[in-house]
Amino acid sequence: MFEKLKQRWRVNALNLLLIICTFAVGGSLCGYAGRRIMNLFDIEKGVLWVILYIILITILWPLCVLIISIPLGQFGFFKRYLMKIWGRISGKKEGKKINVAIFASGAGSNAQKIILSNPSYNIALIVCNKPEAGVLKIAAEHHIPTLLIEKERFFKEDTYLEILKGHKIDFIVLAGFLWKIPAKLIGAYPNKIINIHPALLPNYGGKGMYGSRVHEAVIAAKEKESGISIHYVDELYDHGNIIFQAKCEICEDDTADTLAQKIHALEHQHFPETIEQAIQQMQKQR
């Protein structure tokens, strides 16, 4: 049963546990608050009392689970969960969800943050070029299909475009994917591919500027600040229109490693939300 829920909600074991705790604590809080409120009114315990109590807890329940979900870090999940229930009650049809592919070849910490942000879109595929990449484990944990792609196939063939089509991919997020994106893929997804770069573009970007190399260059240049850039992808490395940037301070004793940690924290904080905004933007333009 737990396995089924994990698959259905696309969450890992820890998140499932926190969600169940939110349901339990939120439900108890709702019952307790409901009884306290009912005691304020002088109504005899009978049919009317029961009817009013049911109406009251129906109103209180969403409020209570939302309140409890905040300290347990599950607000995003419950917000969407309740909106879904409301959609069903009000008879509003849920619009077709946008399908997103995440291209990543590293540890996948950004991919994980995106998945756990309970996005409004569906993460339909994870594309990776390294069989040993941590992101593949994350994909498996969240039951997300993966496509492992070889260099030859990515640059010389376009059969993978059919696979993207097969998964009905509408939008692509690059989260630590180091290969240059071929013109054919950009042509198939114009203004629908975004990338995150661990520096303040247009500085410290371009070919060979990835991972710790970026932070080493920033430290060597004695910069006082660095940051992240989220941008649309065009045919040049780290070049398309910038959607979002955030900065962090560099202290005198910062090393490439400590700077990388600050940058990762910024990425985790801002990437999921920026993707949501870019997708909304795309939908408006449709």
For residues 277 and 284, give the distance between their C-alpha atoms in angstroms, rounded to a whole number.
Answer: 11
CA 90 and chain centroid, separation: 27
CA 65 and chain centroid, separation: 22
Min dist. Cβ of residue 109 to ligand GRF (A): 3
Q: Which of 69, 267, 275, 279 binds ligand GRF (CB under 6 A)?
A: 267
For residues 129 and 104, give the distance between their C-alpha atoms in angstroms, rounded to a whole number.
Answer: 8
For residues 267 and 269, give the distance between their C-alpha atoms in angstroms, rounded to a whole number.
Answer: 5
Q: Is position 170 an interface residue for ligand GRF (rule: CB under 6 A)?
A: no
Question: Going by C-beta distance under 8 Å and a sequence separation of 6 or more, which residues neighbour residue 201?
Answer: 229, 231, 238, 239, 242, 245
CA angle 244, 245, 251 (to 5 degrees): 165
Residue type, 89: I
Min dist. Cβ of residue 260 to ligand GRF (A): 7
Q: Which residue of the set 142, 197, 215, 270 is catalytic? A: 197
Of 111 and 275, nearer to ligand GRF (C-beta) is 111
Q: Is position 107 an interface residue for ligand GRF (rule: CB under 6 A)?
A: yes
CA dihedral 161, 178, 170, 166 (to 10 degrees): 30
Catalytic site includes residue 197: yes
Which residue stretch of 79-87, 101-109, 164-172, 251-259 sits at the interface with ligand GRF (rule: CB under 6 A)?
Answer: 101-109
Min dist. Cβ of residue 282 to ligand GRF (A): 21
Q: Is position 110 an interface residue for ligand GRF (rule: CB under 6 A)?
A: yes
Q: Which of 109, 203, 212, 245 binds ligand GRF (CB under 6 A)?
A: 109
Q: Is position 129 an interface residue for ligand GRF (rule: CB under 6 A)?
A: no
Other C-beta atoms within 10 Å of 235: how many? 12
Place of tokens 């926190």: 18
For residue 124, the SS3 value is: strand
Which residue stretch of 2-10, 69-77, 99-107, 231-239 sits at the interface with ligand GRF (rule: CB under 6 A)?
Answer: 99-107
Query: How many residues of this chain bind ligand GRF (CB under 6 A)?
Result: 13
The contact pattern for ligand GRF, residues 186-215, with x = CB under 6 A and - = no contact, is ----------xxx-----------------
The catalytic residue positions are: 197
Where does this chain bind ligand GRF (CB under 6 A)? Answer: 104, 106-111, 175-176, 196-198, 267
